[in-house]
Amino acid sequence: MREGLQPGDRLPSEPELIERFGMAKGTIREALRLLDAQGLVKSRTGPGGGTFVHEVSQQRAEALLANYFYFKDLTISDIYQIRRVLEPELVADLAGALSPRVMEELRDILASYSDPATTDEEERDQHVATLQFHKLLADQSANPLLSFLIGFMLTILTDITVYRKLYTPINRDLWARGLDYQTRLLDALETGDSGAARAIMKAHMQTAGPLMEGQEAFSLKRFLSH
Amino acid sequence: MREGLQPGDRLPSEPELIERFGMAKGTIREALRLLDAQGLVKSRTGPGGGTFVHEVSQQRAEALLANYFYFKDLTISDIYQIRRVLEPELVADLAGALSPRVMEELRDILASYSDPATTDEEERDQHVATLQFHKLLADQSANPLLSFLIGFMLTILTDITVYRKLYTPINRDLWARGLDYQTRLLDALETGDSGAARAIMKAHMQTAGPLMEGQEAFSLKRFLSH
DNA sequence: CCCAATTTGTTCGTATGTATC
DNA sequence: AGATACATACGAACAAATTGG
């Protein structure tokens, strides 16, 4: 940081660091591992190789943050409490600002679950797809913090959905209402009606939220492993 | 994780790990450094020492997450967009649920800036104190995610306030209004009026927010260093 | 107060794997 | 195909810190 290195820039080679800091190879390598674990550098072997500054990926940041919650009793309803306020905020920003390319992608995802699921497995896949719908929206935000936070919550919810049958009871009524919400949301986003987008998402979150409260409270420990 | 180790539990000693995985000392130590950097273990020398599982501290989690935003163009107004919706949610939860002990602490903090600042330095200290007021509230939440997110934003804002004269122009009107908001908020929290607490905080955030928008947009790079 | 045992921390020398020219 | 420049891994030794006798 002090030397203003940018992603892609090469750190001094190990022998150079040994020379510069007057330390042994092992010590230098342990130090580099500390940066490695934080996702700040990546190393490559061979000529032209070395250790390079690397932008911390969203995936890495999510994994590191998940470690923190490994020791906390975070529940599904805790997550929904945050989603309930952040996602309406998100779509209010996005109304009228989405590219045709993204709009099309959103419609594609929506189409992937336009028919009710018939099996538990199909049901699970559809739920993952709805989460992808929200994820794609989150990725469009100009606010990196908002984008990350929603993405983080969606990753947790997706992991839980995949590794555990979270949404087992098939509920056709809920499915129909969710589909209706998202269809109307797309319209509001396209026409640029920020207020409507916010209201629709808010209502959507308020129906999805209480459903989760019914689930037993449980810690996320078993899902957070890398 | 696989062996269900809890915070405080000891990992095998280095010689044991060397034996168990059939690897050299340096390799084992680099692996332990990876866990160390994530805040998952701490090592102590001497008899009775070793490497111990450790709960990831909030401070560490914040620092690791800050690394992610080091490469993003996060602005003050991005942060306020999130605060604006999360902090009202926080105080709505907290209304009527705070211990007399905490209420007293909150009043103490409030009292520490009950007189208008006369110097820039005093002004800065008062702003840090107002952030502490919010931090103390965040710490009371039963929702670990909500608690962490607000705490994270407050840490960033505090760092900026301390290391840079963010709030330089002394604005007595704003000071008076902020004090009024917080006083009324304390009353609402004490009487357990959840709706009022939410409304007051919302209004508070909406006056503080636009003030920040006036600040030039800038990245947080220079502040995020550990 | 000092000594001895235990455990992590550090060093050095060497060898191996890997990618590039 | 071979030389070169890297990171990666190994092994033996020594240093430093902490604890208990």
Establish if A162 belongs to a structural domain: yes
Instruction: Kindly tell me if the per-residue pLDDT of A57 is higher than 50.
Output: yes
Element holding A63 (H helix, E strand): helix A58-70
Q: Which nucleotide has the least CA–C1' distance to B47? A: C6
Q: Which of A79-83, B37-41, B163-167 has the lowest mean pLDDT?
A: B163-167
Kindly state the average pLDDT of the residues B22-27.
Answer: 95
Neighbour-count burial for B192-207, b at 16+ CB within 10 Å, e otherwise: ebbebbbbbbbebbee
| Shortest CA gap A81–chain B (Å) | 8
Write down the residue that tokens 């061979």 correspond to: A46
- Is A37's CB within 8 Å of B40's CB? no
pLDDT bracket for residue B152 (50, 70, 90):
very high
Residue B162: the pLDDT is: 82
Residues B29 and B68 reside in one and the same domain: no
- CA–CA dist B93, B88 (Å, integer): 9
SS3 A93: helix
Burial class (CB in 10 A: 0-12, 13-18, 19+), A170: middle
Q: What is the pLDDT of residue A212?
A: 64
Q: Is the pLDDT of residue A222 over 70?
A: no
Q: What is the mean pLDDT of residues A71-80?
A: 92
Could you tell me if A36 and A134 lie in one domain?
no
What pLDDT shows up at residue A138?
98
Q: Check if residue B49 sits with its Cβ under 7 angstroms from strand C.
A: yes
Which residues of chain B make contact with A145, given a CB cutoff of 8 A? Answer: 69, 74, 78-79, 81-82, 153
User: Tens digit of pLDDT for each residue in B31-56?
Assistant: 999 999 999 999 999 999 999 999 99
Q: Residues A90, A158: one domain?
A: yes
Q: Do B145 and A69 touch (CB under 8 A)?
A: yes
* Distance separating alpha carbons of residues B225 and A103, to the nearest angstrom: 39
- Co-location of B47 and B65 in the same domain: no
Q: Is the dihedral of CA B170, B171, B174, B179 positive or negative?
A: positive
Identify the residue among B29, B70, B145 best suited for mutation to test binding to A, counting A beta carbons within 10 A and taking the highest.
B145
Q: Which nucleotide is nearest to A22 (CA to C1')?
A: C11
> Are residues A146 and A101 part of one domain?
yes
Q: Evaluate whether residue A170 is within a structural domain.
A: yes
Which of chain B's residues have a Cβ under 8 Å away from the Cβ of A79?
Answer: 145
Task: Select the more confidently predicted residue: A160 or B112.
Answer: B112
The pLDDT of residue A143: 97
Residue A43 has pLDDT above 50, yes or no: yes
Q: Which residues of A touch B1 (CB under 8 A)?
A: 70, 225
B2 found inside a domain? no
pLDDT of residue A226: 45
Q: Is residue A134 part of a domain?
A: yes
Instruction: Identify all chain A residues contacting B67, using CB atoms and an 8 Å cutoff.
Output: 38-40, 56, 61
Q: Does A34 sit within 8 Å of B37, measured CB to CB?
A: yes
The pLDDT value recorded for residue A199 is 98
**Smallest Cα–C1' distance to nucleotide C21: which residue has it?**
A47
Look at residue B85 and tell me if it is in a domain: yes
C-alpha A3/C-alpha B25 separation (Å) is 32
Name the B residues in 8-37 with CB < 8 Å from any A CB: 26, 29-30, 33-37
| In a shared domain, residues A127 and A25 | no
| B38–A64 C-beta distance less than 8 A | yes
Same domain flag for B26 and B97: no
| Cα within 13 Å of Cα(B42), Cβ side | 10
* Torsion sign (Cα): A136, A140, A144, A147: negative
pLDDT digits (tens, 9 = 90+) for A90-131: 999 999 999 999 999 999 999 999 888 888 888 888 889 999
Same domain, A106 and A201: yes
The rounded mean pLDDT for chain A is 90
Q: What is the pLDDT of residues B60-76, one digit of tens each?
A: 999 999 999 999 999 88
Residue type, A91: V
In a domain, B7, yes or no: no
Instruction: Give chain A's domain count.
Output: 2
pLDDT at B209 over 80: no
Contacts 24+ apart (CB under 8 A), B85-88: B85/A85, B85/A86, B85/A89, B86/A82, B86/A85, B86/A86, B86/B146, B86/B149, B86/B150, B87/B134, B87/B137, B87/B150, B87/B201, B87/B205, B88/B197, B88/B198, B88/B199, B88/B201, B88/B202, B88/B205
Domain of residue B24: give its range. Answer: 14-53
| Chain B residue nearest residue A221, CA to CA | B1
Residues A43, A143, single domain; the answer is: no
Q: Are A170 and A123 in contact (CB under 8 A)?
A: yes
Cα distance between residue B56 and residue B68, in whole Å: 17
Judge whether residue A210 has pLDDT over 60: yes
| pLDDT, mean of residues B186-203 | 97
Under DSSP, the state recorded for B12 is: P
With CA atoms as reference, the chain B residue closest to A26 would be B26
Q: Is there a single domain that holds both residue B27 and residue B100?
A: no
Grade residue A221 by pLDDT with cuts at 50, 70 and 90. Answer: low
pLDDT given for residue B127 in this prediction: 87
- Look up the CATH number of the domain holding residue B143: 1.20.120.530
Over residues B111-120, mean pLDDT: 87
Q: Measured in angstroms, what separates residue B43's CA from nucleotide C3's C1'?
A: 25
**What six digits make up the tokens of A198?**
């916010």
Sign, Cα dihedral of A87, A91, A92, A93: positive
pLDDT value at A154 more than 70? yes
| Cross-chain Cβ contact B37/A39 below 8 Å | no
DSSP for A29-40, written as a single string: HHHHHHHHHTTS
* Cβ of A23 less than 7 A from strand C: yes
Nearest to B86 by CA among B211, B181, B201: B201
A9 occurs within a structural domain: no
